[in-house]
Structure 1
């Protein structure tokens, strides 16, 4: 039996982040102010524990591409153009990078994520809300 040599998650993450300028929490705030969509993919339990990201739209990772693709019949109303700026945020900044890679494959070329996720947001003292969140299903 031949053993399969897989590159592993670290190589996949490096590939996903290649050519993407990721944002700090402060840069994410600035992006939001200029009209970027801030998308929170954390689970309900994570949001309950950490708090809600102000101004973010919560979209479950399992339907993210369908909700943000302007050509999808299941898109959210804010998904108006492949040129829109999108910042994906997760808990620590790992799964958001993988999400960015697939959103870019869909055609959303201005999509990026936040370095360190909500944990980095908290570390620099930016505010979180108690809720309610803008959850899209």
Structure 2
């Protein structure tokens, strides 16, 4: 039996990923990227900073300071924002840059991998904002039929 190089082993594993299989590691990745804070952070890192209530964030992806993200993401706790950013950095979706100023400046930016996911998550966020009224109406209709 021939031995495989590391690249060949990765290619074979990649070909075998199937999220419908319980033991597939891609399930954990799907769990992570479907989190609301991940979706909002990756969408925010695509903001041009002109966020206004009801308009969403639009523009080219750019680095954002931790404090900018915290202000933009209403309701996120400091602990949750920090944990989510760390997990995104660990997965290679964002980079963290520390600038030695007083106080220290920390900024986050999408990596190439993060940019590839940003486009899709931004579309999901936009879909949710566009169809929220219809979903709420459907919920009301459904709930009124239930005993």
TM-score above 0.5: no
Please tell me whether Structure 1 or Structure 2 has the larger radius of gyration of its CA atoms.
Answer: 2
Q: TM-score, normalised by structure 1?
A: 0.30
Judging by fraction of residues, say which structure has more helix. Answer: 2
> Greater relative contact order: 1 or 2 (C-alpha under 8 angstroms, separation 6 or more)?
1
